[in-house]
Structures are given as structure tokens and as C-alpha cells.
Amino acid sequence: MSINGHIAKLMELAGEKAATADPSVIAPHLTEWRDKFQGNAALMLMPESAERAQALIRYCSEHGIKIKTQGGNTGLVGGSTPGLEGRNEVLMSTRRMNSFCEVDAGDFSITADAGCTVAELQAKAAEHDLLFPLSLASEGSCTVGGVVSTNAGGIHVLRYGTTRALTLGVQAVLPNGDIVDELTALRKNNTGYNLSQLLVGAEGTLGLITRATFKLYPREAQKHTCLLAVETPSDALKLLASARKASGDRVSAFELMPRFGLDLVLKHIPGVTDPLGGTYPWYVLTDIATSRTDAALEADVASWLEGELESGTIVDGALASSFAQAENFWRLRESMSEAQKHEGGSIKHDIAVPVSKVPAFLERASMAVLEICPGSRLVAFGHLGDGNIHFNLMQPLGADKKDFLAHWEEVSTLVHDIVMEFDGSISAEHGIGTLKREELSRLKASASLTAMRAIKAALDPKNIMNPGVLFPEA
Ligand SMILES: Cc1cc2nc3c(=O)[nH]c(=O)nc-3n(C[C@H](O)[C@H](O)[C@H](O)COP(=O)(O)OP(=O)(O)OC[C@H]3O[C@@H](n4cnc5c(N)ncnc54)[C@H](O)[C@@H]3O)c2cc1C
């Protein structure tokens, strides 16, 4: 269905501020962070409320007009780029849906509009001495609707869970224009299908999230940030287990970084320094935190570090002595994606395997990819505490970027097959989008795919919301 005959009507329904057909305004919304997708859209709608979005979606539903939803546009799998594969879609941005963000301190919850950013929720919670624990490098831009729809992970999943675990309820406009309002601070509510949880991770294929309520936690009053050098990922895992035990399970982040990744950050990101003197094959960055103010945790961390240095599991390390130093440690980790951009082409995977299998997976997958892409440079890093590794392959020195990236499908097929051998997942936290939908079709059990398609067909029989995302179009 072409939208050309409907632009004037949709602009009228949206109101003056909530619609644009100006190509220069729409242009930044047609590309994405990795520059992997280039989209196209003649019209961008920017409803400021659920009611406005409802009117627009209802109209689109009646006329079979396809919609691509976009929040902060930080997604990494081509899920929010409109007009791919020649599709004629209206772009619906939630950026203007951002006026409501309120904490209920008594219920340890926060409710916010879809277009509010994660950083805004963190700041709002902090005003009440509470913690919104979702934390990811894109938090200044990514939105409530985006993190719910992709079930975003980030660095605190180990302690607080994914967005799914944090979500108490959502309000959404369904593809037929109905508003389901499941906003709630209830921790227990066994009343049939959980529609909010169905929308979490649905990547915008089942409706437009307009608002969500999340859990909050007591704010961390002290945080001990350690950068530790280890010889192997197996040693890193040993540290994870001992840190959890020694701290009374207060490890809130546990990240793995290879030396080559660190070298890229030091080379390409201004203002960061290497806190350790020597060079080592692997590094762990961990936060151990509590809402308590006494000195007990500090003493526990100190004696844990001492013991692990003595045993040789830690070969070198630093415990941040100030907030600024901890920030510098974290910049090393958070700049790792950005640094790879400056080094050339990179074939990326966002995979998960059971935590205990990470070392064996890394060994097996590294050998396999180097066989088919000799000379390429591995940057396998990420959330070791969750078994989630960003298994990236950088182009060999001096190689042609385009030639190297032409191997993407071949390399990913191989990596994903190995992931399946290790009982893992081909998408730990970024989602499927358009990037991995063929791989999902290839590797997910057919009974699960049939059930997923049945849910999509029931809620969106005209396939108007995010067509081409999750499932290839027939
Ligand atoms: C530097 C960097 C670091 C990152 N680190 C992490 C990380 O650690 N963990 C992690 O999980 N992700 C990470 N990401 C990926 C990304 O930030 C997340 O996927 C995030 O959840 C996307 O939110 P967004 O608002 O930008 O959504 P968008 O990119 O705009 O959209 C993502 C998907 O959600 C859908 N969507 C957006 N809003 C809505 C809505 N209101 N209703 C229905 N569907 C909607 C879109 O259609 C699309 O399918 C990172 C990205 C970058 C650039």
C-alpha cells in the first residue's frame, strides 16, 4: 500500500508539530549507528501522547499503511530503519513522547513515557535516592520504548536482570488501534497471559509502547571498581565465582576485555589511559556495590583481591581509589564499540552461551573463524557475568573493508552454528531486527517459530507494524 495518497490526512491527524515530510529533518532517522542500513521514508510522525499515536495507528490500520517505529535509533540490528527492501513505510518516532517520568518511592517503581531516555530515568530515580539499574553505553539516547522492545541488557544484568525482569507493566497501542494499559506497580498479578511481557522483546512487531513501569532498587551507596588482569577467560570465570561468594553476591557488573580491544581504545579514543603498567592477554572490569554505608564490603573486597593475587588468578590489577578513576576504567570498556569503528570493518556477533561454557566457546569459535578469515583480529568482549560475548572480527591490517565485510554471512553462519552446539543464543541482547531474521528462521525450533508467527498474525493480521522485523516477509 502506497502512503502517497494519505500523507495530508496523516499530517492533519498528527497536528502541526507531530509530523514532517521535510527530507532534511527525516534524513538522520534513515541511517543507524553502524552505518549498515540506509532507509527511506516520505513522512515522519512524532505523536506526543498515546491518544495521538492511537489515532494515527488506527488510521494506518484501516488503510493498511505500514509503520516503522523508532525511539533513540541506537539499535544495532536494523530494526528501526524505515523503508528497507523498498518497503513503503511511515516512520513513527517516539522522541516527542517524553513529558511523563515519575517515581513512586513507596512502591520502588518508576513510570515513564516511551520517548524518555534511560539516562533520564536513572537521574529521576537518583533524585529519590533510588537506582534504575539498567545501564548501557547508549543510555543517553536509547529510550524506554526501545529498551522494552529489545529487552535491552547492559552491564547490570548479572545483579538486576534484563529489561524484562525490570518491567512491571506497559501501556501500548496495538496494531488495530486499541490501547492496552497494563501499567502497574504490582509485583504479583496472576491473571492470565502477561501482555506486558509479550510486548517486551517483541521489537515493535506487536504494537507501539507508549509508557512503561519499571522496578527500582535502593541506590548503591558505595561501589568498588576493579580492573584486573588475568591470563585466560577461565581464570576470569574463577574470579566471578569467588567475587560473588566473597561479597555476599554484590557483584553488579563483570565484564571481560581482550588486550587487543584495549589497544584499540587507547589508540582511537582521546583522553583514556591504561591504568596497569604491563600488558596482559585478558582483563576483567568489575563493580562490587551495596546500598549500605558501613566499611564491611570494602574489607571483603580488599581481602578477596589479596587472596586472588596470592593464588595467581589475578596477575595484576587496580582498585579505583576515586570516582574519576572508576570512570576512567569504565571508559575503557564503554569505548570498545566506538574504537572498533575507527579501525575498519568488523563482523559482529552478540551471542550468549551458558556462563560456564564461555572459555570453551571462545577457544572453539576463535580457531574456526581464523581458519576462514586468516589474519583477522578478534575483539571478543562483553558481559561475561551473563555469558554474553560480543564476538567481533576486525578486518586484517591493510585489508579492504568492503572485501572483508563480504564475508559477514559466511562467518556468522559458522559462529552461530558453534553457538548452537554450546546451547547458546544468536542474540543475547541486541535483538533480531532485520539483520538476523534469516538466522532466526534457520536456527530456532520450528514449533517456536510457528507459535511466534501465530501471535503476530493474531495481533497484527495486516502486518502493518515493523514488517520485515523478526520474520522475513513472505
Ligand atoms: C554504543 C552502543 C552501546 C550499546 N550497548 C548495549 C548494551 O550494552 N546492551 C543492549 O542491550 N543494547 C545495547 N545497545 C543497543 C541499543 O542501545 C538497544 O537495543 C536499545 O534498547 C535501543 O533503544 P532505542 O530507543 O535506541 O531503540 P531504537 O533503536 O529506536 O529501536 C530498536 C527497536 O525497538 C523498536 N522500538 C523502539 N521504540 C519503540 C516503541 N516505543 N514501541 C515499540 N517498538 C519500539 C524499534 O522499532 C526497533 O525494532 C548499544 C547501542 C550502542 C549504539
Q: Please give the C-alpha separations between residue 31 and each of 27, 36, 70, 116, 157, in angstroms, as whole numbers.
A: 8, 8, 11, 21, 29
Which protein residue's CA is at the shortest distance from atom 9 of ligand 1? 154
CB of 94 closer than 6 angstroms to any ligand 1 atom: yes
Question: Which of 163, 164, 161, 167 is CA-nearest to residue 185?
Answer: 167
C-alpha triplet 259, 265, 270: angle, nearest 5°: 150
DSSP assignment, residue 31?
B
Question: Which of 268, 225, 244, 233 is CA-nearest to residue 391?
Answer: 233
* DSSP E strand stretches across 179-281: 179-181, 208-215, 217-218, 222-230, 251-258
271 Cα distance to chain centroid? 26
Question: Which of 381, 466, 365, 465 is CA-nearest to residue 417?
Answer: 365
pTM of this prediction exceeds 0.85: yes
CB of 469 closer than 6 angstroms to any ligand 1 atom: yes
Give me ligand 1 centre to Cα 235, in Å: 32
143 Cα distance to chain centroid? 11
pLDDT score recorded for residue 466? 98
Distance separating alpha carbons of residues 302 and 172, to the nearest angstrom: 47
Which protein residue's CA is at the shortest distance from atom 11 of ligand 1? 152
pLDDT score recorded for residue 36? 86
Can you say whether residue 383 is alpha, beta or left, with left for phi > 0 and alpha for psi between -120 and 50 degrees?
beta
Radius of gyration of the chain (CA): 23
Task: Say whether 207 sits in a helix, a strand or coil.
Answer: coil
Which protein residue's CA is at the shortest distance from atom 23 of ligand 1? 146
CB of 149 closer than 6 angstroms to any ligand 1 atom: yes
pLDDT score recorded for residue 474? 61
Give me ligand 1 centre to Cα 293, in Å: 34
Q: Which three cell numbers stand for residue 112?
A: 515513564
Task: Say whether 326 sits in a helix, a strand or coil.
Answer: helix
* Adjacent-strand bridge partners of 380: 391
Question: Which of 80, 84, 76 is CA-nearest to residue 348?
Answer: 76
Over the stretch 158-214, which tens digit does the pLDDT of each residue have? 999 999 999 999 999 999 999 999 999 999 999 999 999 999 999 999 999 999 999
pLDDT score recorded for residue 4? 80
Give me ligand 1 centre to Cα 203, in Å: 9
CB of 432 closer than 6 angstroms to any ligand 1 atom: no
CB of 335 closer than 6 angstroms to any ligand 1 atom: no
Q: Which atom of ligand 1 is nearest to the CA of 148?
A: 21
pLDDT by position in tens, the chain (length 474): 678 889 999 999 999 889 999 999 999 999 998 888 999 999 999 999 999 999 999 999 999 999 999 999 999 999 999 999 999 999 999 999 999 999 999 999 999 999 999 999 999 999 999 999 999 999 999 999 999 999 999 999 999 999 999 999 999 999 999 999 999 999 999 999 999 999 999 999 999 999 999 999 999 999 999 999 999 999 999 999 999 999 999 999 999 999 999 999 999 999 999 999 899 999 999 999 999 999 899 999 999 999 999 999 999 999 999 999 999 999 999 999 999 999 999 999 999 999 999 999 999 999 999 999 999 999 999 999 999 999 999 999 999 999 999 999 999 999 999 999 999 999 999 999 999 999 999 999 999 999 999 999 999 999 999 999 999 876
Which protein residue's CA is at the shortest distance from atom 39 of ligand 1? 145
Q: How many CB atoms lie within 10 A of CB 218?
A: 12
CB of 337 closer than 6 angstroms to any ligand 1 atom: yes
Q: Please give the C-alpha separations between residue 78 and each of 177, 280, 371, 436, in angstroms, as whole numbers.
A: 25, 35, 29, 9
Over the stretch 351-391, which tens digit does the pLDDT of each residue have? 999 999 999 999 999 999 999 999 999 999 999 999 999 99
Which protein residue's CA is at the shortest distance from atom 53 of ligand 1? 74
Question: Which of 185, 203, 84, 222 is CA-nearest to residue 148?
Answer: 203
pLDDT score recorded for residue 16? 85
Q: Which atom of ligand 1 is nearest to the CA of 76?
A: 15
CB of 135 closer than 6 angstroms to any ligand 1 atom: no
Helix axes 336-343, 323-334, angle to 10 degrees: 40
Q: Which atom of ligand 1 is nearest to the CA of 428?
A: 11
Task: Say whether 191 sits in a helix, a strand or coil.
Answer: coil
Q: Which atom of ligand 1 is nearest to the CA of 94?
A: 41
Q: Please return the burial class of 107, using the count of CB atoms within 10 Å of its CB with bins 0-12, 13-18 and 19+.
A: middle
Q: Which atom of ligand 1 is nearest to the CA of 199?
A: 43
Q: How many CB atoms lie within 10 A of CB 18?
A: 22
- Domains, the chain, in order of start with CATH, read 4-96 (3.30.43.10), 101-218 (3.30.465.10), 222-337 (3.30.70.2190), 345-430 (3.30.70.2740)
Distance separating alpha carbons of residues 145 and 409, to the nearest angstrom: 30
Amino acid letter for position 125: A
